[in-house]
């Protein structure tokens, strides 16, 4: 969803989730999400993927009672797993085409 058309401002996200800008800035520092626009924290805008990972981070913290640093590391592992799964699926499709020829 890198090229997603859906955008959410930091203000909208914070109001919806009941968090403050500083927490979102911390999550950005931990590389949970990256703003796709805005020159300052107050102007940041996130795409659907960024908002998804921010929401997921809040749930991980709440459900597992993790420190924010641990949440950041866990999100990185989850992203790597997702990427490897997509790569594996693509390789399986290529192999299936090769074997069917």
3-state secondary structure of 34: coil
Share of the chain above pLDDT 90, in %: 90
3-state secondary structure of 15: helix
Domains of the chain with CATH codes? 7-100 (1.10.1660.10)
Q: Residues 6 or more apart from 21 whose CB is under 8 A from it?
A: 10, 14, 41, 42
What does the mean pLDDT of the chain come to?
Answer: 93
State how far the Cα of 89 lies from the Cα of 18, in Å rounded to an integer.
37
Distances (CA, A) of 76 to 39, 43, 52, 86: 25, 25, 13, 15
In tens, the pLDDT along 77-95 reads 999 999 999 999 999 999 9
Q: What radius of gyration, in Å, describes the C-alpha atoms of the chain?
A: 17
In tens, the pLDDT along 15-35 reads 999 999 999 999 999 999 999
State how far the Cα of 88 lies from the Cα of 83, in Å rounded to an integer.
9
Token representation of residue 36: 């796709």
């Amino acid at each position: 969803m890198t090229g997603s058309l859906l955008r959410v401002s930091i203000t909208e996200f914070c109001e919806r989730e009941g968090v403050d800008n500083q927490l979102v800035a911390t999550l950005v520092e931990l590389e949970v999400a990256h703003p796709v626009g805005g020159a300052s924290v107050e102007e940041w805008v996130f795409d659907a993927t960024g908002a998804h990972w921010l929401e997921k981070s809040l749930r991980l913290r709440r459900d597992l009672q993790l420190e924010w640093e641990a949440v950041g590391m866990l999100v990185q592992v989850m992203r790597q797993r997702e990427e490897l799964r997509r790569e594996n699926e693509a390789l399986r499709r290529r192999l299936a085409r090769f074997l069917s020829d």
